[in-house]
Amino acid sequence: MPLPLSRFSLRLYISCLFTVIIVLLGLLLIYAQHRQHSDFLLQDSERRLHHLEQTLGQRLVHNLHGIDTGLALIRASGINLAGAESSPDRWWPLMRTLLDANPQAISFYLGEADGRGLFFRAMRTRAMRDFFKAPTGADWVMDITHPSAPVRRVYLGQDGQPLSSVLVDESRFDARTRPWFHTALMRAGTAITPPYSFYFLRQPGLTLSLADREQGRVFAADLLLSDLAALLGRDRPDARTLLLQAPEFRILASNLEHPPTEDGTGMPPLSALEGFAPLLERNAATWQARVDGRRWLGQQTRVQLPGLDLRLVTLVPYQSLMAEALAFSRNQILLTLALILLTLPVVIWASRAISRPLLKMAQAMGSIQEFDFGYRPGQHLYKELAMLDGALRLTCDTLSSFTRELHQLARSRDFNDMLEQVSRGIVRLGGGRRCLIYRARRQDGRIRLALWQNGARQQLELAADTPPEEIAGQLLAGLDGHGLRFELPWLLYDRFGELNGAIILGLSYGAPPLSDGKRRFIEHYGEFANLALEDMSLFEQQKQMTESVVQVIASAIDAKSPYTSGHCQRVPELTLMLARAASEADTGPLAGFRLDEGQWEALRMAAWLHDCGKVVTPEHVIDKATKLETLYNRLHEIRMRFEVLKRDADIDYWRALAGGGDARRLAPRRHRRQRRLDQDFAFIAALNLGQESLGDEQLARLERIARERWLRTLDDTLGLSWEEAERRGPGGPLPVWEPLLADHPWHRIPYPPAQRITADNPWGITLAQPALRLNLGECYNLATRRGTLTAEERYTIQAHMVHTLIMLSQLSYPRHLSEVPLLAASHHERMDGGGYPRGVPAGDLPLTARMMALADVFEALTAADRPYKEAKTVGQSLAIMATMVRERHLDPELFRFFIERRLYLDYGRRFLAPAQLDEVDAQRLLAEAGL
């Protein structure tokens, strides 16, 4: 049965090759011609834009020159506001001549040193006549302005005679405040302002001004820029052309239609137009953009005018600009396709002639294409084919052996097994008797080569810079007398060029030396050993680094507070002590407890990380020793208020005495008042310690004391951080009477939305989160019935389990460490399901999690570094734990095992003071636990 050939025949490959070559040559020609034609069109576009720039510049310069001449004539004529107001017909011929000669100027005017102004305007359009509300027959308008009086507007006919006048009450115009006034006074010649919105017309334009410094008078003329829009769109109506003012790139004129703008200029900001972002971002001279799904080309050029920095910006559709080049490219593509169709028969004929002999050889070699290494050679007439057949047979034998070795290596369970497989494979491949594999380790600038073979270990220590030849010689020297002849060692190096190990093959005496080819093959095969050694080293280093990081985190948590130092280190010790004892038990309920290497690592890591959530727990909450303590004890503030009230009693006494009061009657009253304040403060101070439970009578007294008032005269919003000031809000009027103890609204600090834990959280957390993150109210804190912690603070401490679960759940673990988050976050769960953070019955948790819970409780009870309690003895601690077992907090079988194996003594001798190691009645404790 003939074997199938490859997916495509050689003939097809050759045909495709020649076809691709022809196509590539055609495409290269098309690209070169298209590129040349495109460059020509782009250069032509630049020339057109340059011509447009020259035309626009010449027109503006011509307009500005005519206006400049007109301003000089006005200044030379001696016109002033008083003369023009009294005899307008004297100056009217000059103004009319200038406005007629400069149709681009909409007004000529002057400003006096006292802010008054005189404006002559020609109402050439219907829009201007409507804007100035001109009566019938009025063609000109003259405005006389005053900084503190309404504008007087005089309408003039074609002959310059006044027709009527009105007062514009809503206008107050001060010429001194306009940009053209001071600009002209500071320059010797004509000044040109940047484009701006005119005061009366609300349209953009330029102002040319010329000053008479002796009189403090300025003559000016306005020029609208709106007529530039027609010029901008003249050469390319399909383009988007803008005239911009640099450096802020403000639009002065455009050939586009824009909606009205708030500033009255009618021009939106450049950022509101599509396709011009590169100009704003990097001041690009040329760029490309996509607008409305089409490709556009942009270009920026400078318009040279005296005193102005103007830019002409054009955005042209690529299809429009490059239409001729694209049409030429399409014609070239059609020509190339025609050439391919004409040459294809020739290519097919040539490929068939070349591939016919090779096709016959491929059919002969098809028997091995299915990777069947049981190949049997055939008979061939030609010498070359016979040589190829022999090479194929040798290749099949080698690949078959190599495949078997790979299969065995893939089934290796660990690195040591993999090394053993490689060792046996090298023995088979080399025909040897024994293979030795050394592992290299670097330490203190030295190299230690350790031999792992049949459980025996042999070491050779060398300097780090020992040359390879000397390393090989010392390895062989240490093997003398073993009854074998050893080949020259293969030295193994990792990917960083560091010595990783060595392989030595032992042969029988009399065996021929290995050929160079076989040594090379064994060298390549030995890379499996090199890979195993390198992975083994990396795995150990990563494992050590992970454990070090975990221990550093635990040490950092302990270091946060001097009162819990060592907790995160002692709990792992006791947990592992309990787990090791349980794994050695051969009787009782724990007889079947065993952990593999991965489970031991997971338990060790979870024990070290069991309180990692305390990283985010505030220290002042963990270490809170009094009810009013936050970052400091707020009792000092309250004591100062009592001091103020006692001073008030003295002041009231002396004030009444000065008013003629009886000292024998006033003194006892002052004494009683101050003694009551002393007693009340002593009561508050005792409450602050939280050493006794509060009853209703004490709470009632607390409320009475809180209602006592004191006078505050200083603003309590001064000197606050922005966050506290935002939370408190503005202060009220002063002075103010305030309660002695208060629960203000700003004492109630809610949770940010991101820190809210909802009922459908992905971690299964059921620990109820209070409405507030913190309640700093003084009465609220002092009214805590037991201990020093409020409900919010108690949750904050308990929430370290929530943070532990969330933080550890976000890490990626190998399979054998997947239970680390569960183990670390479950040591506050109870047997009856009343624990936290998930409220899972401890009986449903792994036994190792229950071990950690017991270890955490015992360490906390016996710890001598907590500010809120004294260290308990072993007997006292076990008695409390017996009660917890009876109330179904702790695992009863683990507690029995802990007592009967006397593990508390092993722990106590290492970590507890001798005074804590009292006598323990095991039977009584088990009875109290209900066991």
3-state SS, one letter per residue, for 393-422: HHHHHHHHHHHHHHHHHHCCCCHHHHHHHH
pLDDT of residue 623: 75
Q: How far apart (Å, rounded) are the C-alpha atoms in residues 365 and 395? A: 13
Q: What are the pLDDT digits (tens) for 618-657?
A: 877 777 888 888 888 888 988 998 999 999 889 989 998 9
3-state helix, strand, coil in the chain (%, to 5): 50, 15, 35
pLDDT at 392 over 80: no
pLDDT of residue 704: 92
pLDDT of residue 675: 94
* DSSP structure class, residue 487: P
pLDDT at 456 over 50: no
Q: How far apart (Å, rounded) are the C-alpha atoms in residues 197 and 207? A: 10
Q: Which helix (H) or strand (E) is 117 found in, with range? A: strand 117-122
**What is the token pair recorded at 649?**
């009693």
pLDDT at 382 over 60: no
Instruction: Give the long-range contacts of residues 71-74, CB within 8 A, separation 24 or more.
Output: 71/108, 71/190, 71/208, 71/209, 71/210, 71/219, 71/220, 71/221, 72/190, 72/210, 73/98, 74/98, 74/108, 74/110, 74/210, 74/219
Q: How many angstroms separate the Cα of 273 from the Cα of each of 332, 454, 775, 873?
A: 37, 80, 52, 80
Would you say how long the chain is, in residues? 931
Q: What are the pLDDT digits (tens) for 483-519?
A: 787 888 888 887 777 777 888 888 888 788 888 877 8
Q: How far apart (Å, rounded) are the C-alpha atoms in residues 316 and 287? A: 11
**What is the token pair recorded at 33?**
């011609």
Average pLDDT over residues 329-357: 67
The amino acid that residue 463 corresponds to is A
Q: How far apart (Å, rounded) are the C-alpha atoms in residues 747 and 776? A: 5
pLDDT of residue 832: 85
DSSP H helical segments within 78-125, as ranges? 81-86, 88-101
pLDDT of residue 105: 83
- Within 8 A by CB and 6+ apart from 407, the residues are none
Q: How far apart (Å, rounded) are the C-alpha atoms in residues 161 and 179? A: 32
C-alpha radius of gyration, the chain, whole number: 49
- Confidence at 683, pLDDT banded by 50, 70, 90: very high
Of 198, 139, 138, 142, whose CA–CA distance to 168 is shortest? Answer: 142
Q: Give the per-residue SS3 of 151-178.
A: EEEEEECCCCCEEEEEEECCCCCCHHHC
Q: How far apart (Å, rounded) are the C-alpha atoms in residues 264 and 198? A: 9
CB 412 within 8 A of CB 531: no
pLDDT at 713 over 80: yes
Of 739, 744, 746, whose CA–CA distance to 725 is shortest? Answer: 746
Q: How far apart (Å, rounded) are the C-alpha atoms in residues 267 and 253? A: 8
- Confidence at 296, pLDDT banded by 50, 70, 90: confident
DSSP 732-766: --SSEEEESS---GGGEEEPPGGG---TT-TT---
Q: How many angstroms separate the Cα of 386 from the Cα of each of 210, 382, 601?
A: 106, 6, 60
Of the chain, the percentage scoring pLDDT greater than 90 comes to: 4
- Confidence at 61, pLDDT banded by 50, 70, 90: low
- Confidence at 673, pLDDT banded by 50, 70, 90: very high
Q: What are the pLDDT digits (tens) for 93-115?
A: 888 888 888 887 888 889 988 88
CB 252 within 8 A of CB 244: yes
Instruction: Give the long-range contacts of residues 626-629, CB within 8 A, separation 24 or more.
Output: 626/688, 626/689, 626/690, 626/788, 627/687, 627/688, 627/689, 627/690, 627/781, 627/782, 627/784, 627/788, 628/688, 628/778, 628/781, 628/782, 629/788
- Within 8 A by CB and 6+ apart from 261, the residues are 267, 268
pLDDT of residue 678: 92
pLDDT of residue 739: 93
Q: What are the pLDDT digits (tens) for 113-126?
A: 888 888 888 888 88
Q: Which region holds residue 137: left if phi is over 0, alpha if psi is between -120 and 50, else beta? A: left
Of 417, 411, 399, whose CA–CA distance to 525 is shortest? Answer: 399
Q: What are the pLDDT digits (tens) for 210-261?
A: 888 888 899 999 877 666 666 566 656 677 787 777 777 777 777 777 666 6
> What values do phi and psi take at 304, rounded to 5?
-85, 110
Q: Which helix (H) or strand (E) is 677 found in, with range? A: helix 663-689
Of 646, 671, 574, whose CA–CA distance to 912 is shortest? Answer: 574
pLDDT of residue 294: 82
- pLDDT-wise least confident of 46-55, 79-88, 521-530, 881-890: 46-55
pLDDT of residue 387: 63
> Are β-strands 772-775 and 499-507 bridged in parallel, bridged antiparallel, or unpaired?
unpaired
Q: How many angstroms separate the Cα of 858 from the Cα of each of 827, 880, 885, 906, 926?
A: 12, 9, 13, 13, 16
- Within 8 A by CB and 6+ apart from 304, the residues are 57
**What is the token pair recorded at 837?**
């953070």
pLDDT of residue 227: 60
Q: How far apart (Å, rounded) are the C-alpha atoms in residues 439 and 731? A: 75
Looking at per-residue confidence, does 824 or 429 come out higher? 824
Average pLDDT over residues 426-448: 78
Chain-centroid distance of CA 169 in Å reads 59
Q: Which helix (H) or strand (E) is 206 found in, with range? A: strand 204-212
Q: How far apart (Å, rounded) are the C-alpha atoms in residues 440 and 455? A: 17
- Confidence at 562, pLDDT banded by 50, 70, 90: low
- Which residues, listed in sequence order, are joined to residue 287 by a DSSP beta bridge? 298
Q: How far apart (Å, rounded) are the C-alpha atoms in residues 253 and 61? A: 17
pLDDT of residue 361: 46
Q: How far apart (Å, rounded) are the C-alpha atoms in residues 20 and 26? A: 10
Q: What does pLDDT average to over the chain?
A: 78
pLDDT of residue 475: 78
pLDDT of residue 640: 92
The amino acid that residue 866 corresponds to is R
pLDDT of residue 679: 93
Q: How far apart (Å, rounded) are the C-alpha atoms in residues 679 and 632? A: 24
Q: Which region holds residue 680: left if phi is over 0, alpha if psi is between -120 and 50, else beta? A: alpha
pLDDT of residue 216: 85
CB 163 within 8 A of CB 173: no
**What is the token pair recorded at 223?**
């020029």
Average pLDDT over residues 522-543: 72
Q: How far apart (Å, rounded) are the C-alpha atoms in residues 240 and 254? A: 8
Crossing angle (nearest 10°) for helices 567-584 and 892-900:
90
CB 291 within 8 A of CB 238: no
Q: How far apart (Å, rounded) are the C-alpha atoms in residues 223 and 99? A: 11
Q: How many angstroms separate the Cα of 489 from the Cα of each of 292, 709, 908?
A: 71, 93, 54
pLDDT at 364 over 60: no
Count Cβ atoms below 10 Å from residue 52 Cβ, excluding itself. 20
Q: Give the per-residue SS3 of 432-481.
A: CCEEEEEEEEEECCEEEEEEEECCEEEEEEEECCCCHHHHHHHHHHCCCC
- pLDDT-wise least confident of 14-18, 480-484, 906-910, 920-924: 480-484
Q: Which region holds residue 275: left if phi is over 0, alpha if psi is between -120 and 50, else beta? A: left
Q: What are the pLDDT digits (tens) for 248-287?
A: 777 777 777 766 665 555 577 877 778 777 877 777 778 8
Count Cβ atoms below 10 Å from residue 32 Cβ, excluding itself. 11
Q: What are the pLDDT digits (tens) for 566-582?
A: 777 788 888 989 989 88
Looking at per-residue confidence, does 101 or 565 come out higher? 101
Average pLDDT over residues 431-460: 72
Q: Is 476 exposed, middle or buried (0-12, 13-18, 19+ CB in 10 A)?
A: middle
Q: What are the pLDDT digits (tens) for 298-340?
A: 878 776 655 567 777 887 787 776 666 567 667 767 776 777 6
